[in-house]
Structure 1
């Protein structure tokens, strides 16, 4: 099952795979296609040797219980696995019936937006269009900044007016938009439901439910703090990011790079952009992302944990010659992390003098993480 937000490119990828692998594509948002697959056993029996691609699969949760029997029968008959490719626009939490019915019979992958390594040129100065417009293909490739911004605003409106109600959430569109915009203004900040609720005239419980909706629709990342039993007072609230930088900027009416460079959100926007690009290169089954912060000020923007152990510490700086703060050193020492990095918007990777910290361009660290090489550059 391939998961990802709407318009991120799942359908294009699946259709291309279908052309190579004798696939049959059905969009379950089309009534005719939906009717064809409601009896999934009959549908599969009609096309036993074809790759069956079902888009927006959350529209037909009733197919998954009988599909379990279809898959088990094929296995007993020694037939090939991988006959079905499902596409979904929500998290596993919203697709709960799917994950429960097909436990052990389905593999999950998440498709993120276009990332920095996928650009034709990954030099630091060429990242600005991706950063400003975000990773949605139609936004990134639009003919002008104005067209790109309009596309993103239309996507936001579609989510609020159509997609949220389709998933069964009863939330006033304008209220959810105000909340989403407030999160944009607090990009990368600690989530405080009570404080946000006061600004919206809502209870903290309602605000937390709104956050759950945006997280489940793969639009917002809730980055949890890493807890360590080290005898220090730790921050326990999650940090919250609008996942796509282009949607972040649309919510804040930032149209182009000049507007972004003069906006107060620039540092937090860069941090979120770096975090999402780095996580797009990692195996979610091997690495878990966190942040770390103590009440005394020791802090790591991104902690990568493997097999329950913090392995990598990453600080994000929007500076041409960044320096590691004392709090970063202290946090790394607290957790016993030896792989320490600062991501900056430059072109060269270098080691800080008298330090074990590497300063690195975003794409250099992305390549290292993707290729699973030794986590150093020396």
Structure 2
């Protein structure tokens, strides 16, 4: 049947090398955090949807006893150092971390690149590059506006969304059900 290699890595340089050497014999399967249906089927869904939103849907939060805040902090640090470290100028890693938090503040809103660039003190092309990194590593999703006119659809501003509510809550410093309910 063949050899199968399954990995959870998102090392961008490794991807490029594998794609070039295995062209036509390679398939990527993009796995997102658990859905509510998957959590329910696994019997780990709690009755309080606010707790699920704060905890998030990443598998390690459900298969071991780990504090979600500690896990998310380690996840972000590892993500910046290992996964995107080679793609972000070493002098900009602090700005990149700030960028991720500023994206969290804008979740569900229209994405204005110039405002992000100004707040991070980097260029708009750098913000565009960083946004591509977040998208390709499935941390965020850009929802393009729907317009029947294709020209308008291509020129209108997308909205930014995080794919995991727990990561979003962590970045916004929302740690409890009550904080989530009181957040804007």
TM-score normalised to structure 1 length:
0.42
Say which SS state the counterpart of residue 99 (structure 2) adopts.
helix
Shift of 1:230: 7.6
Q: RMSD value over aligned CA atoms?
A: 2.9
Are the structure 2 counterparts of residues 89 and 221 from structure 1 closer, same or farther at C-alpha, using a change threshold of 3 Å?
farther
Gaps of 5+ in 2: none
Are the structure 2 counterparts of residues 187 and 119 from structure 1 closer, same or farther at C-alpha, using a change threshold of 3 Å?
same
Shift of 1:178: 0.8
Say which SS state the counterpart of residue 253 (structure 1) adopts.
coil
Match of 2:53 among 123, 127, 131: 131
Q: Which residue of 1 aligns with 2:134?
A: 214
Say which SS state the counterpart of residue 7 (structure 2) adopts.
strand
> Higher relative contact order at CA 8 Å, sep ≥6: structure 1 or structure 2?
2
TM-score normalised to structure 2 length:
0.81
Query: Which has more helix, going by share of residues?
Result: 2
Distance 1:91 1:164 in 2: 7
Match of 1:119 among 27, 34, 39: 39
Distance 1:96 1:186 in 2: 31
Shift of 1:113: 1.5
Q: Which residue of 1 aligns with 2:106?
A: 186
Say which SS state the counterpart of residue 149 (structure 2) adopts.
coil
Q: Which residue of 1 aligns with 2:18?
A: 98
Tell whether 2:182 aligns with 1:262.
yes
Shift of 1:141: 5.7
Shift of 1:124: 9.1
Gaps of 5+ in 1: 1-79, 265-378
Deviations 1:71-117 (A, max 9, x none): xxxxxxxxx24x22232533889723433432321222112222211
Q: Which residue of 1 aligns with 2:74?
A: 154
Q: How does 1:319-334 map to 2 (within 5 A)?
A: none
Match of 1:169 among 88, 109, 114: 88
Deviations 1:247-304 (A, max 9, x none): 111111110111111001xxxxxxxxxxxxxxxxxxxxxxxxxxxxxxxxxxxxxxxx
Greater C-alpha Rg: 1
Shift of 1:169: 2.9
